[in-house]
Amino acid sequence: MEKTNFKDKIVAFFKRFTWYELALLIVGLVAILVLSIIVKSSPVTILYSVFGVIYTVLLASKFKVAVVFGVIQSSLYIVQSVLYKNWGEVILNSAIVLPILIASVITWFTGIDKKNTQVTKSKLKSWEWALVAGIFVVIWVSFYFILNALNTQNVIIACFSCAFTAAAHYLLLRKSQWMFVAFIGVNVVLFVLWLLPVVQSGGLGLESITMLVTILVYNISNIMGIVNWAKSRNKNPKNNEENTEKIDENNQEKIDENVEKLSENQENNSMTKNIENTEENVDKIDKNQKNDENNVILDKKVDKK
C-alpha cells in the first residue's frame, strides 16, 4: 500500500511539469552526463553539474524542493572549488550562498503556504531594492580586495560574478521573480570567464565545453523561470477576483439561508406562543365555566333552604 502511494506521489509530481520543462531537464542531464564521461570529469564535478541542472529547472518551475537541491549543489561546488584551489568561490559560497540557501529552505517550507509544493512569490518593498543595490556594491568592492590578495585572474569580471551571485540569492530568499535576472547576470559572467581561457589559448578544450553547456542549460532555465513566474503574476489578479466573487456569492447564499431560517424560526415561535396562549385561554374559560356552574348550584341550594 505504501509503495503504491509513493508511486502515485512521484507520478503526480512529474505531471506538474510542462513538456518543455521535462524536455529541458532530460536533455540537460543527458548532455552533461555524456560530456562528463567523455572528458572523464571527477565525480564531484559530475554531481555538481547534475544537481545544478535539477536545481535550476525545479526553481524555474516554482517547486519549493528546488532550494534543497540548491543546498546540495552549493556544498558540492565548495568541495570542487577547494580541490581546484578557487578560494574566492569557496569564500563566496561558504559565507553567503550556502547560508542563504539553508535559510531559504527554512522560510520556504514554513509559514502560511507551508503545505503547498510550489512557491508563492512575494513583491519586494522599495527599501529592499536599495538593499539589493547596496549588497551588489559592497560584495563587488570586498571581493575585489579579497581576489586581488589571492592573485585571481580576471579580477574585475570575477567580482561581478560574486556581486550578482549575492544579489540573486537575496532575491531567492525573498521569493522574488527578479532573482532570475540576477542569475542570468551570474551565468553571463561565468560564460565569459570560461570563454576567456579558450580565446587566450586558441583552442576549445573538452572541459570548457562541459562547463559552457552547463552554463547554457542554467541560462535557459533562468529564462524559463522569468516566463513561468511572470505567467503566475498575470494570472493571480484574475484568479483572485474570481475567488473573491465566488466567496461573496457563497457568503450571500449563506446569509440568505440564515435569514430564511431565522424568519421560519420566528414564525414557528410566534405560532407556538399563539397556541400556548390559546390553550391557556381555553383552560381559563373552562375554569370560569366550572366556577359559574358551581355558583349556580350553590344559588339553587340557598333558594331551597
pLDDT digits (tens, 9 = 90+) for 10-61: 777 777 888 888 888 999 999 888 888 888 878 888 888 899 999 999 999 8
pLDDT digits (tens, 9 = 90+) for 227-241: 888 875 544 444 444
pLDDT digits (tens, 9 = 90+) for 267-282: 666 666 666 666 666 6
Q: Which of 222, 210, 154 is nearest to 186 (CA)?
A: 222
Distance CA 286, CA 159 (A): 106
The burial of 176, by beta-carbon neighbours within 10 Å (0-12 exposed, 13-18 middle, 19 or more buried), is given as: buried
Which SS3 state, helix, strand or coil, does residue 118 take?
strand
Q: What is the mean pLDDT of residues 57-76?
A: 92
pLDDT at 202 > cutoff 80? no
Which SS3 state, helix, strand or coil, does residue 161 take?
helix
Q: For residues 30 and 212, which has the higher predicted lDDT (pLDDT)?
A: 30
**pLDDT above 90 covers what percent of the chain?**
29
Cell numbers given for 53: 541542472
pLDDT at 260 > cutoff 50? yes
Average pLDDT, the chain: 79
Cell numbers given for 92: 563566496
